[in-house]
Chains A and B, each alone.
Chain A
Amino acid sequence: MSNATTVPAETAAQPKLYDCRIAYAQALEEMAAGDARVCAVINDSLSSANLKNFKAHYPERFVNVGIAEQNMVGVGCGLANGGMVPYVCGAACFLTGRATEQVKVDLGYSKSNVRLCGMSPGMAYGQLGPTHHSIEDQAWMRVIPNLTVIVPCDPIETAAVMHYSLHHVGPMFLRIARMPVPQLLDPGYKFQLGKAVVMREGNDVTIATNGVLVWRALEAADKLAARGIQARVLNMSSVKPLDTEAILDAARTTRGIVTAEEGLAAGGLGGAIAEVLALHHPAPMRILGLPDVFAPTGNIEFLLNHFRLNADGMEAAALELVK
């Protein structure tokens, strides 16, 4: 596990918020400028993948396969075979759902150097409904052998993961958030594969989460601190490989672990952590996520609150563990 220097809490009620797709696209352009192998593949997702600038600057390294996700992932595999480093970018729901077998065979089994960028994951598409929600992706992707799964928490980590990915060997799935989040990490942050990031120290209880929920976990930790409870907040951006040491340390030194993810409670980050605990150090847990249901109609803020994937929900779960 590594310690992060977090940016001091904003004094204003509402911190400045960022769409992580901007950081991802900027990083991709920077990488393309320095490395002729970098290319992008999209499925008519020019806007949603935020690659208009990339296309303008590197048209010869930009492939739009149209609305065809199975083909898109296979094309990525072929580009990697041909010596390129393809970033295959599309809405996470279609990329992971429509092309699961291609991800399994063409990338995971084949160990292809392809980076999947799952855009607007979780319930980011809000009112568009469960067809457009990607609540299964952490569970689906993390069980595919050889596939690295990363869920960055803010624009700094998104850019850091992108830059890391250029030299990673093997396939990766990166979950790129659309839902705005504040900057949580110091600009000098270096991504370390397989390392949890300690966002907040604490020895009473642990909140382990990733992506857009890290911000909310820090808020939950503030609320718990007001009650005299010191919550450790672990940013589990590296879902696979998972930082088992950080999890076991949390199990040993705090009174339990609350996990929270923007997706199904089954099979994802919470499931991964539960597997580690069950095998090595059983400890009290609460797994927050969607409880085997598809979401009702509502915008993302409404839905996160509806499923208690917010500071109140994490605080309540933590209180159950420390009482």
Chain B
Amino acid sequence: MSDAGKDENFVRSQIDTLRLQANWIRLSAMTMTHRARLGHTGGDLSASDILSVLYLGGILNIDPARPQWPARDRFILSKGHCSAAFYSVLARRGFFPEAQLRTHMEPLSMLNGHPDRNKLPGVEANTGPLGHGLPIAVGAALAARMRGESWRAFVLTGDGELQEGSNWEAAMTAQHYNLDNLVVIVDRNRIQQGDFTENTLRMEPLADRWRSFGFAVVEIDGHDHAALLEQFNNLPAEPGKPTCIIAHTIKGKGVSFAENKPAWHHGVPTREQLDAAQKELGVEVTW
């Protein structure tokens, strides 16, 4: 077998692993939501592949043993309501024991409904109200530049979230300062709390909007691990420009009864639905 063939096999097995990890994040998040009887299943599931590639695919330069390491990459979950998926990937990456996921939303838990950086290692920003993550990421990217350091700022936003004007204020700053160490990932699942985004407040032409704000824009399938890996390994998309990756996703991805249904924005699975989800996802959660 040629070296190229070996590499190909390695990549294929890495992608198979990431796919399983993403499904584990999905089932873990749904289990947390089921237990808490509260959560945001649809967005957890749309973002799980992105989170698995960033955290478990070797993209983010982070060290769970040193969560405050100054030169770490910053990842900010702007769509803070998808904390169940986020906590699951942080635990999987080793920031805290998976058993701690059992405390999600319990009284006095460190795992609040929205992440709190003062309670949990690996959390960079307290998010929940929408439109906060991108300005914070812009500030972090500016800090790296001021310090002459090479770390990067990643922010994952929802798509409905982009209706908040603060995002576009921050986008202008990112453009003005040519922040090519900033990566915005839009979880473009096309559904917000009440309805489809395009019925609520049209987001299209979303890519053109980001382009016109000075970003290098890439549109990819947000469930294609190979495509995500390749893109994240080729940043910035254009030198001198901030990157915007519009990840086209399916809200509720991986669990057929939840897919593409606005009601699953904050739908809570029953025991039976959780069992059905486990069968479809083909993984097991043991925490």
CB distance from A170 to the nearest CB of B (A): 11
Q: Say if the beta carbon of A79 comes within 8 Å of chain B.
A: yes
Q: Please encode chain B, from 124 to 152, with 1 for each CB lying within 8 Å of some chain A CB and 0 for all others.
A: 11111101101111111111111100000
Q: Contacts A61-B146, A70-B169: A81 and B138 contacting too (C-beta < 8 A)?
A: no
CB distance from A83 to the nearest CB of B (A): 6
Pick the interface stretch among B170-178, B185-193, B235-243, B257-265: B170-178
Q: How far is the CA of A81 from the CA of B136 in the complex (A)?
A: 8
Q: Say if the beta carbon of B118 comes within 8 Å of chain A.
A: yes
CB distance from B232 to the nearest CB of A (A): 20
- Of B117, B142, B173, which is within 8 A of A68 by CB? B173
Q: How far is the CA of A61 from the CA of B134 in the complex (A)?
A: 20
* B-facing residues in A60-101 (Cβ within 8 Å): 60-61, 63, 65-66, 68, 70-84, 86, 101
Q: Say if the beta carbon of A106 comes within 8 Å of chain B.
A: yes
- A105 near B140 (CB under 8 angstroms)? no
Q: Contacts A110-B125, A111-B118: A105 and B142 contacting too (C-beta < 8 A)?
A: no
Contacts of B139 in A (CB 8 A): 41, 74-82, 86
Contacts of A237 in B (CB 8 A): none
- B74 near A81 (CB under 8 angstroms)? yes
Mostly, the B contact residues are helix
- A81 near B135 (CB under 8 angstroms)? no
- Of A71, A84, A102, which is within 8 A of B143 by CB? A84
Q: How far is the CA of A84 from the CA of B137 in the complex (A)?
A: 14
Q: How far is the CA of A66 from the CA of B127 in the complex (A)?
A: 23
- Of B70, B138, B143, B176, which is within 8 A of A74 by CB? B138
- A106 near B143 (CB under 8 angstroms)? no
Q: Say if the beta carbon of B153 comes within 8 Å of chain A.
A: yes
CB contacts between A and B, total, < 8 Å:
116
Q: Say if the beta carbon of A39 comes within 8 Å of chain B.
A: yes
Contacts of A39 in B (CB 8 A): 146
CB distance from A322 to the nearest CB of B (A): 48
- A73 near B147 (CB under 8 angstroms)? no
Contacts of B17 in A (CB 8 A): none
CB distance from B113 to the nearest CB of A (A): 13
- A71 near B169 (CB under 8 angstroms)? yes
- A105 near B141 (CB under 8 angstroms)? no
CB distance from B239 to the nearest CB of A (A): 20
- A75 near B126 (CB under 8 angstroms)? no
Contacts of A102 in B (CB 8 A): 132, 135, 166
- A110 near B118 (CB under 8 angstroms)? yes
Contacts of B153 in A (CB 8 A): 78
- Of B117, B137, B145, B147, which is within 8 A of A110 by CB? B117
Q: How far is the CA of A257 from the CA of B144 in the complex (A)?
A: 50
Q: Contacts A75-B139, A82-B144, A83-B70: A105 and B126 contacting too (C-beta < 8 A)?
A: yes
- Of A66, A82, A105, which is within 8 A of B129 by CB? A105
- B173 near A75 (CB under 8 angstroms)? yes
- B146 near A71 (CB under 8 angstroms)? no
- B169 near A60 (CB under 8 angstroms)? no
CB distance from A186 to the nearest CB of B (A): 36
Q: How far is the CA of A27 from the CA of B205 in the complex (A)?
A: 47
Q: Please encode chain A, from 32 to 65, with 1 for each CB lying within 8 Å of some chain B CB and 0 for all others.
A: 0000100101000000000000000000110101
- A71 near B125 (CB under 8 angstroms)? no
Q: How far is the CA of A111 from the CA of B147 in the complex (A)?
A: 22
Q: How far is the CA of A26 from the CA of B255 in the complex (A)?
A: 60
Q: Contacts A105-B132, A110-B126: A81 and B173 contacting too (C-beta < 8 A)?
A: no
- A81 near B124 (CB under 8 angstroms)? yes
- A71 near B118 (CB under 8 angstroms)? no
Q: Contacts A71-B170, A81-B140: A106 and B177 contacting too (C-beta < 8 A)?
A: no
Contacts of B173 in A (CB 8 A): 63, 65-66, 68, 71, 75
Contacts of B165 in A (CB 8 A): 70
Q: How far is the CA of A38 from the CA of B177 in the complex (A)?
A: 19
26 A-B contact pairs sorted by A residue (CB < 8 Å): A36-B147, A63-B142, A63-B177, A65-B169, A68-B166, A71-B169, A71-B170, A74-B136, A74-B138, A75-B135, A75-B170, A77-B136, A77-B139, A78-B137, A78-B140, A79-B140, A79-B143, A81-B136, A82-B74, A82-B140, A82-B142, A84-B147, A86-B139, A105-B126, A106-B125, A110-B126
The chain B residues found within 8 Å of chain A, CB to CB, are: 70, 74, 116-118, 124-129, 131-132, 134-147, 153, 165-166, 169-170, 172-173, 176-177
The chain A residues found within 8 Å of chain B, CB to CB, are: 36, 39, 41, 60-61, 63, 65-66, 68, 70-84, 86, 101-102, 105-106, 109-111
Closest 7 CB pairs of A and B: A78-B139, A82-B143, A74-B135, A71-B169, A68-B169, A75-B139, A78-B140
